Structure 1
Amino acid sequence: MLVRLVLAGLAGGVAALAFEPFAYAVALPVAIALLAGMLASLPEHHAGRRGYLLATVFGAVFMLTLLPWLHVVTPLWPLIALAEAPLIGLTGLAAAYARRPWWPLVVAAIWTTAEVVRSTWPLGGFPWGRVGFGVADSPFAGLLPWVGVTGTTFVVALLGAALGWAVVTVRVRPVPAVATTLGALALATAGAWLPLDPAGGVRDESALRVAAVQGNTPGVGLSAMAERRQVLDNHVRATQDLAAAVRRGAEPAPDLVLWPENSSDIDPFTDAAAYADVAGAAVAVDAPLVMGTAVSDGVGWRNRFQLWEADGRPTAYYDKRKAVPFGEYVPFRAVLDPIVPALEQIPRDMLPGDRPGVMELADVPVGVITCYEVAYAPLVTDLVDSGARLLAVPTNNATYMGTAQVEQQFAMARLTALATSRSVVVVSTNGVSGLVAPDGSVVERAPVRTTHVLTADVSPRVGLTPAVRWATVWTVLFTVPGAVLALAALLVLRRGRRTPAPLERVEATA
């Protein structure tokens, strides 16, 4: 069993290679195949319990390899990574069914269900490391506009499970093993020849000229945003420079200007100078300007994206809905504050918004989703369902510069564009900022840690991809069977029932 545990850990490390900065998408089915092969070959006695242990070790190493960037904000980051492992471990319950010919479907179903659960629970969930977010620039990516992140996870997990199962059973059941593997491979690579725009999404009659302002920050790490006035001044100055270039005829006039999250950590509604600066920037560039700021209401604060009209008036806004635990609010504050002094850095909790961030900008519905909210597929679906024809992802990754976090999040934005068939504008304080086409390709990208303004004509789109139109159907289809199978396996383990006949017995009667 010790050898199996070591191999499970190695497989978890391989899985992390599918994500930035490595981005080897093939690592995911290979890693799942390694785990599946060990699960399928477990001896009958206590297969479910041992399977759970193996999958938990896999999950622990996977998350520990994927999330070292969390060390920037907390030395306790391994605890966060390890907290994800028991949910990934649920996949190991599939070992209770290992002697069934449909076993790869069981693995894929339980894996997908566990992934959706950990993306929503506890504390709102943590979707980092979803299989569907590790397929950029691969044949698997074409599945996203059809079945979304959840369905893509299922299909890639099915391919890995089929490969692992086939290795174990090919001598016993050669025809089912080969047929299952070939079928899973065909399904997983179907995105390579399926159309990338299954919705028939069409370009609007006129494109928008979008300007994304990356103002840069003076500090690094936890001190990146310490000089709040300097950060605001950087974004104001870059916007005024853009306005001057437009007046000279060096740049076309923008229809819309986007600033990143925390472009002003100074509340412009309580600070007259900040108000005047932002309003003045909007007037100078003569275009609607959306900027991220922190707004206080005396009880808590809101991570707000405020629209300033071209005449300098603040109108519509979006309040970030998904707050970051221990970053923007402290769960169980009354209990934890006295025993964790570091939580003093978060004296007040962020109050989440309660509606999708769709704003009419230049007569086009634009969906705003903040920073790591892009990892939550239901929030993105809400925006497109609410009429968003273009997506904006303002973010502040200044704290994580120099780590894999910024590239991992940018990859999620690219895959979001592909799943929704929408252009995505990512604007960050100091990187990564970029313009992403509806097919997930990067149109333009700003250099990091510099002041830079990205400008481009972006075509809004109408029409819903199957991934968006049938989002609820896909979630039910790919998760309910897994939940039922996992519960059934738990009952088998609890009651001490025997699992189906071991491979040796099947071979003897074949």
Structure 2
Amino acid sequence: MGLRHDSSPRVRPEGHSAAGTIPEAAGATTGAPAGPARPAGAQPGEGGPSRRARFAATARGAAPSSAVAAAGGLAMAASFPPYDLWPLSVLAVALFSLMLRGRTVRQGAWLGFAFGFPFFLWLLVWLRSVTWIAVVVLSGVEALYLVAMAALMVLAQRLRWAPLWAACLWIAQELVRDRLPFGGFSWGRLAFANTGSPFTPLAALGGAPLLSFAVALSGTLLAACALSGYGVWQRRTRTPRAALPAAGALVLSAAVLCAGLFVPVPTGADAHVRIAVVQGNVQQPGLHFLGRPMKILDNHVQATLKLAADIRAGRAPKPDIVLWPENSSDLDPFSNPAAYDKITQAVQAVGVPVLVGALVDGPDKDHVQNEGIVWDPVTGPGAHYTKQHPVPFGEYVPFRKELTKVVSQLNEIPRDFYPGTRTGVLQIGPARLGDVICFEVAYDGIVRDTVNAGARAIVVQTNNATYGRTGQPEQQLAMSRLRAIEHGRAVVTAATSGISAIVAPNGKIEQHSAEFTQQVLDADIPLRDEKTVADRVGAVPEWTLAMVGLLSCAAAVAIGRRDRTGMAKGQ
């Protein structure tokens, strides 16, 4: 695999950039004009421009390119649900790559922020239900990952086959962002904007990372096509040979786009199970959705009792199991006898096991556990799953003693959630299902481990009441679609207030509820044992692509130093 770093001086036509592609006057290769020259021997403030004047000149010069980068970030956000304009994810990557062409590392870093901050600001606007401060702060933090990625992409673009290295760096950025700090935050991955695009079946081969890589590579190749085509036009060359690089990049970009169409997505199953999903609804939307104590539990109990009545009357088929959502019991049934009795009443009325979502006290007085509990109509509560990945600043407060003194809103989280230590594979009636709670569906490893541990279908218990009608439930449902294809499993989302849904193993949403309604979904879902290639290879594609991207930057730096040393010796 050949790498080329071209740092030798060339004679260029007047008005052309060092990259030999886009005129500097167009603002595509320089961040800002240098400003008026300082007279020889002048010191700052002595005949030369002041620091403030130089900063203003730099800001004016950078404004057009910053505005274009911000527009690209907003286009990227529009590619995600609830808008679902997935082609914009490819175009946004292409535009971002074009903006970085010929930049310095510092200029690239700034454009990374100019692109990333508006992107996350719009993508995460649903956090306004908590506070607008959370939207701004989290957007700024997440944008820093794109700052680092953009700086590294500037280095990688100096090498031959730059689109490949740039796409690998996109995966490196997602890998780190998904893990650090505090277990990471996965929102905004390219894969989550492409859960219904031609790229999507690639998830069955390499999971979400391979899907993200394909989107990024298609975009960076599209940028290479535009650069080559512009170079041909700029030189007024009409020879077929001159047009080959542009045509080749365009063909490769289209090939990557269509590659997923040739990936089979198996959906056959030897067994099925009849399920009912109870969406009981909440007393009120927003941050304080709980309302009066036991209100949410009452809603789910009453909806289940109505289902039981419909079954007896022949108006509804009897399911094998019933699924309740996360926080369907707003009180710990093990410390509150009234809550325990209400759940038991509902379970016995429907006559089949029910997966109940509840907050359970423990393991000490300072902690609570977010659990899915299998409640049998005869034996009562049995096996359970405890959420492994509590949300920082949502379900627990890092550095609580220090931060609560500064941010008083954090006191609204009185106790930290205690993390579970095992997968959510549970035997519920005749089915061996994998329980995943809320935001855990965004993390590759948690879902993959659950499937590899024997889950034949996946249940996502979630509570989106805080973020209802903000776009967040649609974003989370898109993740369920991706997981269905990635693992070849039916995915059932059970939400307190919506969106509850039945997703087939091919990613098709077969049923879904409306938000803030009381509703029961019933379906016959397949139980599958076959594992996908993505299940078998695990995180290997992600780490491999990320390491290739980082090594390309190391190679660019090493080649640059070698060339500079050689030039110095030649002088």
Using structure 2 for the length normalisation, give the TM-score: 0.83
The match for 1:74 among 89, 109, 131 is 131
Distance 2:344 2:94 in 1: 56
Structure 1 stretch 406-415 or stretch 465-474: which is displaced more? 465-474
Q: Would you say the 8 A contact 2:460–2:491 is kept in 1?
A: yes
The equivalent residue for 1:124 is 183
2:223 aligned with 1:144: no
Q: Which one has a bigger Cα radius of gyration?
A: 2
The match for 1:11 among 72, 76, 79 is 72
The match for 2:161 among 95, 99, 102 is 102
Distance 1:279 1:488 in 2: 64
Which fold has the larger relative contact order, with Cα–Cα distance below 8 Å and residues 6 or more apart in sequence?
A: 1
Q: Would you say the 8 A contact 1:393–1:425 is kept in 2?
A: yes
Q: What is the identity, as a one-letter code, of the residue corresponding to 1:137? A: G
Q: Kindly report which structure 2 residues correspond to 1:301-340, keeping only aligned pairs within 5 A, or say none.
A: 301-340=368-407
The match for 2:268 among 190, 196, 202 is 202
The equivalent residue for 1:507 is none
2:258 aligned with 1:225: no
2:147 aligned with 1:89: yes
Measured after TM superposition, the shift of residue 279 of structure 1 is: 1.4
Measured after TM superposition, the shift of residue 277 of structure 1 is: 0.9
Q: What is the identity, as a one-letter code, of the residue corresponding to 1:353? A: G
Distance 1:248 1:499, change over 3 A: farther
Q: What is the identity, as a one-letter code, of the residue corresponding to 1:78? A: V
Measured after TM superposition, the shift of residue 488 of structure 1 is: 5.5
Measured after TM superposition, the shift of residue 98 of structure 1 is: 2.1
Distance 1:419 1:39, change over 3 A: same
Cα deviations by residue, 1:265-313 (Å, 9 ceiling, x for unpaired): 2000000011011112111111111111111122300001111113151
SS in 2 for 1:223: coil
The equivalent residue for 2:17 is none
Distance 1:291 1:35 in 2: 46
Distance 2:187 2:199 in 1: 18
Distance 1:239 1:312 in 2: 19
Distance 1:286 1:440 in 2: 31
Distance 1:26 1:228 in 2: 46
Q: Would you say the 8 A contact 1:29–1:159 is kept in 2?
A: yes
Distance 1:156 1:498, change over 3 A: farther
Distance 2:503 2:552 in 1: 39
Q: Would you say the 8 A contact 1:423–1:437 is kept in 2?
A: yes
Q: Would you say the 8 A contact 2:158–2:556 is kept in 1?
A: no
The equivalent residue for 1:505 is none
2:270 aligned with 1:212: no
- Superposed CA RMSD in Å reads 2.0
The equivalent residue for 1:176 is 245
Q: What is the identity, as a one-letter code, of the residue corresponding to 2:367? A: G
Q: Would you say the 8 A contact 2:149–2:170 is kept in 1?
A: yes
The equivalent residue for 2:547 is 480
Q: What is the identity, as a one-letter code, of the residue corresponding to 2:131? A: T
The equivalent residue for 2:434 is 367
Which runs of 5 or more structure 2 residues have no equivalent in the other structure? Answer: 1-30, 32-61, 233-241
Q: Kindly report which structure 2 residues correspond to 1:355-434, keeping only aligned pairs within 5 A, or say none.
A: 355-434=422-501
Distance 1:241 1:491, change over 3 A: farther
Q: Would you say the 8 A contact 1:97–1:499 is kept in 2?
A: no
SS in 1 for 2:417: coil
Distance 1:447 1:104 in 2: 42
Distance 1:366 1:470 in 2: 22
Distance 2:374 2:252 in 1: 50
The equivalent residue for 1:40 is 101
Distance 1:258 1:34, change over 3 A: same
2:337 aligned with 1:272: yes
Q: Would you say the 8 A contact 1:283–1:312 is kept in 2?
A: no
Distance 1:393 1:294 in 2: 16
2:212 aligned with 1:153: yes
Q: Would you say the 8 A contact 1:213–1:453 is kept in 2?
A: yes
SS in 1 for 2:478: helix
Q: Would you say the 8 A contact 2:273–2:430 is kept in 1?
A: no
Which runs of 5 or more structure 1 residues have no equivalent in the other structure? Answer: 502-510
Q: Would you say the 8 A contact 2:217–2:256 is kept in 1?
A: no
Distance 1:351 1:498, change over 3 A: farther
Distance 1:500 1:412 in 2: 51
Cα deviations by residue, 1:195-236 (Å, 9 ceiling, x for unpaired): 122xxx53123x111010000111120121132311100101
Distance 1:492 1:400, change over 3 A: farther
Q: What is the identity, as a one-letter code, of the residue corresponding to 1:54? A: L
Using structure 1 for the length normalisation, give the TM-score: 0.92
